[in-house]
Each structure stands twice: as structure tokens, then as C-alpha cells.
A = this chain, B = another copy of it.
């Protein structure tokens, strides 16, 4: 494979000047049909492909968007990515996914590379939304939007969902179903989401007037199926009288693990324990017992984040905006007996 051919090669073969080739590429109307034909033929003959690096160098920025995400295995993030992908497509940009796998170092490497690449914009669900690395990106002139996380300042655009409200919705639903002992399953508390959902749960609980200690917090070390199973053992290990009759899980993976654990142990859902999940991922409705869950507008998150990052890139009057979406409870068999 010889060196790829350039506009110069095309020009030589077509017997025209380099400028004309460029015109065929970028303003075909300015060039006569005859020469255009010759040029296009030459391009085909040589298998000419634009060199995007050179284009970018000239233009000052690339036609790429990137989404740096925490966990490619979590359908929540891939759904967000799908929304972003569609918005990117509509703007004639390509969206690339970068998997940080929850590691700050990898996240940092990707962000650095993307800034060097002069991408149009970056969406990121960061390991730590307050890490200075995000500020560095901005300082270097690359628009950046925080997805599914928030900061307590307004230095960045962000899109997120009201997790406190989500927590309220879940617990209010369980209260309506007559439960008076409820477990909150989730952790670690370092994750803002987990804290907010618990906070919402507590607010709803306080308003119910039930004793505080009947809302039991069962901590987990992560938001995974395996952790859900382990939490299930702990919940069902509580003595009959003090055992919760319902559980609100900080995400659906936990809820699925919990469901599996109960099913393995011969307990029934919602008979022995009602379950509410969070995220409403596809597996939630397809579970053995379809799962009640708090739905977030996932694709919408990605779409809006993309719009914001493009506004930051294109609009000189851009103002940072913190968008907060409203979650919605989807009731299914796991709480409806």
C-alpha cells in the first residue's frame, strides 16, 4: 500500500490545478461540469480520500464528538450514548465512545487525548465531577458537558435527573402499597446519585410519619448484580418481625441481583418482599418478575447534552446551563402483587 493520494495527485492526473480539485470537493457549483467529471474520475481512479487531519488543522477543530463514560456494561450509559449518537448524527458529526471503566487515570488519558485532538466537544460522566481535570479541559478550549452528575457550581453545563425526586417517588409508591418497613439498598455513599436517592427516600419517609428506624439502610459496595444478591441475603437474614416487606434499590442491577437471590432462596416477589429498582433498563421489564422502577429519560439526557456541547462550541453568547430532568415511576408486578 503506497502512500495515500492527495489532492495534488488528483490534480496531476486530471490535468487541472490543485485549487480546482479543492473546489470540486467544497464548492462543486463553481466548477464546470466537464472539468468536474474529469476530477471525479481521477479521484475514483486513485481511490482518493480526504485527509481529515489536514482539514482539521486548517479548520481549527475536528468533526468529532466524544462521550467518556464510566461503564460500558451498564445499559444506562449505552442508552445515553445512543441519544447522543442520534443528536450527533443530526449535526453531521461522529460520536466516539471512550470507556474510562471507572478509572480516573484512564479518564484523564482520554480527556487529554481528546483535547489534543481538538474535538468539537466532550460529554463526560466523570469518576469525580469535581476533579480538576475537567477544569483543565475547559481551560484548553474544549467544550465539555457533564452527564448524569452535578457540581455545586455553574462552571459547566450539565444534564442530570432529579434523584431526590426519584427517591421520593419510589418510597411514596411503596407507602401507597401499604408498606411500613422498607429497606434502602445501595452504596457506596461516595456516589452522589446514591446519596440523593436515599435523601429523597428519607424525605418521603419523614412525611409519612412512620418511625425513622423502619426505613433500613442496607449498604452495598457497588451497584452490581452480585452486590444485589449479597444484599438480599442480608435483608432476608433479618428476623421476621423486624424484616422489611419492601426494598428500594439504588439501581436496577442491584434489584435484579436481589430478585435472583430471593428466587434462589425460594422467596416470592412481591409476596415476601416487594422491589423497586432505579433506571428502568431493558432487563428490568424483562425480568422473571417484571420490575417496578424509576425511569430516567436516558436517550433524552444524551440528546440534550449534545445540544448543549454544540451550543458551547458554536454560540459566542453561550451560557452554562444545568438541566435537570424529571424521573417517572413505572409500576410493574414486583410491587403490585
**A contact residues vs B (CB 8 Å cutoff):** 1, 3-4, 47, 49-57, 60, 62-63, 66, 72-73, 75, 78, 81-82, 85, 89, 94, 96-99, 101, 106, 109-110, 113, 115-118, 139-141, 225-226, 229, 257, 259-260, 263-264, 282-283, 286-289
Are A94 and B109 in contact, CB atoms less than 8 angstroms apart?
yes
Bound-complex Cα distance A211 to B49 (A): 57
**Please, could you name 8 A-B residue pairs with CB atoms under 8 Å apart, sorted by A?**
A73-B75, A73-B282, A94-B98, A97-B98, A97-B99, A226-B286, A263-B288, A264-B288
Are A1 and B141 in contact, CB atoms less than 8 angstroms apart?
yes
A53: contacting residue among B62, B89, B263, B282, CB under 8 A: B62
Bound-complex Cα distance A82 to B102 (A): 13
A116: contacting residue among B49, B78, B106, B110, CB under 8 A: B49
Are A52 and B96 in contact, CB atoms less than 8 angstroms apart?
no
**Which interface residue of A97, A118, A263 has the most chain B CB atoms within 10 A?**
A97
**What chain B residues lie within 8 Å of A98 (beta carbons)?**
94, 96-97
**Which interface residue of A66, A72, A113, A259 has the most chain B CB atoms within 10 A?**
A72
**Cβ distance A186 to chain B, nearest Cβ, rounded Å:** 18
Are B4 and A141 in contact, CB atoms less than 8 angstroms apart?
yes
**What chain B residues lie within 8 Å of A3 (beta carbons)?**
60
Which B residue's beta carbon lies closest to that of A262?
Answer: B288
**What chain B residues lie within 8 Å of A101 (beta carbons)?**
82, 85
Are B94 and A113 in contact, CB atoms less than 8 angstroms apart?
yes
Bound-complex Cα distance A287 to B228 (A): 12
Are B288 and A260 in contact, CB atoms less than 8 angstroms apart?
yes
Bound-complex Cα distance A10 to B313 (A): 25
Which B residue's beta carbon lies closest to that of A66?
Answer: B96
Given contacts A47-B140, A116-B51, A141-B1, contact A225 B99 (CB under 8 A): no
Bound-complex Cα distance A92 to B60 (A): 25
Bound-complex Cα distance A117 to B73 (A): 27
Bound-complex Cα distance A229 to B287 (A): 10
Are A52 and B113 in contact, CB atoms less than 8 angstroms apart?
yes
**What chain B residues lie within 8 Å of A52 (beta carbons)?**
113, 116-118
**What chain B residues lie within 8 Å of A113 (beta carbons)?**
52, 63, 94
A286: contacting residue among B109, B257, B289, CB under 8 A: B257
Given contacts A81-B72, A116-B51, contact A282 B225 (CB under 8 A): yes
Which B residue's beta carbon lies closest to that of A228?
Answer: B286
**Cβ distance A80 to chain B, nearest Cβ, rounded Å:** 11
Are B286 and A229 in contact, CB atoms less than 8 angstroms apart?
yes
Bound-complex Cα distance A287 to B63 (A): 42
Which B residue's beta carbon lies closest to that of A54?
Answer: B57
Given contacts A53-B53, A264-B288, A264-B289, contact A99 B85 (CB under 8 A): yes
**What chain B residues lie within 8 Å of A257 (beta carbons)?**
286
Which B residue's beta carbon lies closest to that of A136?
Answer: B47
Given contacts A96-B98, A260-B286, A286-B229, contact A118 B78 (CB under 8 A): no
**What chain B residues lie within 8 Å of A226 (beta carbons)?**
286
12 other A-B residue contacts (CB within 8 Å) besides A96-B97, A264-B289: A1-B141, A49-B116, A49-B140, A51-B116, A52-B116, A52-B118, A72-B72, A89-B109, A96-B96, A226-B286, A257-B286, A260-B286
